Amino acid sequence: MEKRFVFVVFSLAIGVVQSVNAEVPAIFVLGDSTSDVGTNNYLPQSTIKANFPHHGVDFPFAIPTGRFSNGFNTADYLAKLFGFKKSPPPFFSQNVKFSIKIRKFRGINFSSAGSGLLGSTGQTTPMQKNVVTMGEQLLQFSTVHNDLLAFKGPLETEKFLSKSLFFISIGSNDIMNNYYSSNPDAKGILHTQIRTRI
């Protein structure tokens, strides 16, 4: 079992290294704090933020950026591997339509710290917008997709997206929030969601 796992990881690593040589026009990132580059800073009521020191102490200019790390995170390092300076910016941070229109669009990071596969993960109350859920992240991508269709047309959009990289890192918050839950329904829903979304 252990040898099989090492082989799978090694095979994936070879695949990534080989594909680095291919041109990647854009990167789309969905997930939680492992790949969030500041999404939650745009949610005024969110209590899940990393926009204060010690976060970012090893980031250029030693400023906190909303990343839940001391510097670059996994999304940044992956983007660097493909020739980008860092992860694409958060969905809320720029005029997406404008960047697509002037053909300088290199992707979007939709990740939101605290989110999970379950819509309830990371939310404190129905009235408080604590995180951008995975469902909402997919809706945001749908908006970007429609903008691409409007400016590039169907064929160019299909070509553009087929060469782009999609990186998804999510699920740990679902497990942490429900592992010790006394509610058996919560664990059952989580297992169902994981099976249906993977």
Residues 6+ apart with CB under 8 A from 46: 40, 114, 128, 129, 130, 131
Q: Which two tokens stand for residue 158?
A: 């299909």
Q: Which two tokens stand for residue 58?
A: 């090893």
Q: Give the Cα separation of 114 and 121 in Å (integer).
A: 7
Per-residue pLDDT of the chain (198 residues; tens, 9 = 90+): 455 544 444 444 445 555 555 689 999 999 998 999 989 889 888 888 888 777 777 777 778 888 888 888 999 999 999 999 999 999 998 777 778 877 789 999 999 988 888 777 777 665 567 889 999 999 999 999 999 999 999 999 999 999 999 999 988 887 777 766 665 555 555 555 545 554
* Model pTM score: 0.77
Cα dihedral sign, 190-168-124-59:
positive
